[in-house]
A = this chain, B = another copy of it.
Amino acid sequence: MSHTPGARQAQKLKTRQALLDAALVLLEEQSLSSLGLREVTRAVGVAPTAFYRHFRSTADLGVALVEEALGSLHPMIRTTVSPAGDSDERIARAVELIAGHVAAHPAHVRFVARERHGGVQPVREAIREELARFAEEVRAELAKDAESAGWSDADLRMLAGLYVDQMLITASLFLETLDAPEEERRLAARTAERQLRLISVGRRHWLD
């Protein structure tokens, strides 16, 4: 029951992480609902029954993956939406940041995009909650901005949701062009910037 600081739990966490990593690799060409528990343990090199020491089911593992994929992303939000510098430059920086994240963690991004509407209810729910949290943070950040003066709360919430959805669309777009020629990737980035810019224009003239 106590917080055993020994090498015992360290090893356990190591296996757990190995299971998560192996699952993420396997999920690059299938959905969570078809991921077998044995498949995962085989990839790691442990007995099938060892799986139960860490997760109740593959759905449970999926929820853990959601936390791993989205939990560490919150700090990024603030710096992205924060109103520093010129608008176009800020947009370019945000798109570049997304592109970098996708390049650094492609499997995580693919997992979230895939399972957001996937076949496993608890995982869908976990993603929905996490994205709602993102939207709330974005809303709070937008509310601070002087440009949001006179905006109703519902309108702010709407805009925040638009931004979050757009962020995911952009991420999955970059994912598709990950191993495409450099030129196509630049084109995708330009399109993403244009879309964000159009939303910004709409935001600026919302109250006209």
Chain A residues engaging chain B, CB cutoff 8 angstroms: 27, 29-34, 110, 113-114, 116-119, 121, 128, 154-155, 157-159, 161-162, 165, 169, 172, 176, 190-191, 194-195, 198-206, 208
Closest to A172 in B: B117
A198 touches B191 (CB 8 A): no
**Can you list 11 contacts pairing A with B, beta carbon distance less than 8 Å?**
A30-B119, A31-B32, A31-B34, A31-B119, A34-B119, A154-B194, A158-B194, A162-B198, A165-B169, A200-B202, A204-B205
Q: Which residue of B31, B34, B165, B203 is within 8 Å of A198 (Cβ)?
A: B203
Q: Which residues of B contact A204 (CB under 8 A)?
A: 205
Indicate the member of A31, A128, A191, A204 with the most B CB atoms within 10 Å: A31
Can you name 13 extra interface pairs (CB under 8 A) apart from A30-B119, A34-B119, A205-B205? A27-B119, A31-B31, A31-B33, A31-B34, A110-B117, A113-B117, A118-B118, A158-B198, A165-B169, A198-B199, A198-B203, A199-B199, A200-B202
Is B31 touching A162 in the complex (CB atoms < 8 A)? Answer: no
**How far, in angstroms, from A158 to B116 measured CA to CA in the complex?**
24
**Given A29-B121, A30-B33, are A201 and B208 also a contact pair (CB < 8 Å)?**
yes
Copies of this protein, total: 2
Which single residue of chain B is at the shortest CB-CB distance from A121?
B29
In the docked arrangement, what's the CA distance between A172 and B198, Å?
A: 23
Residue of B nearest to A116 (CB): B117
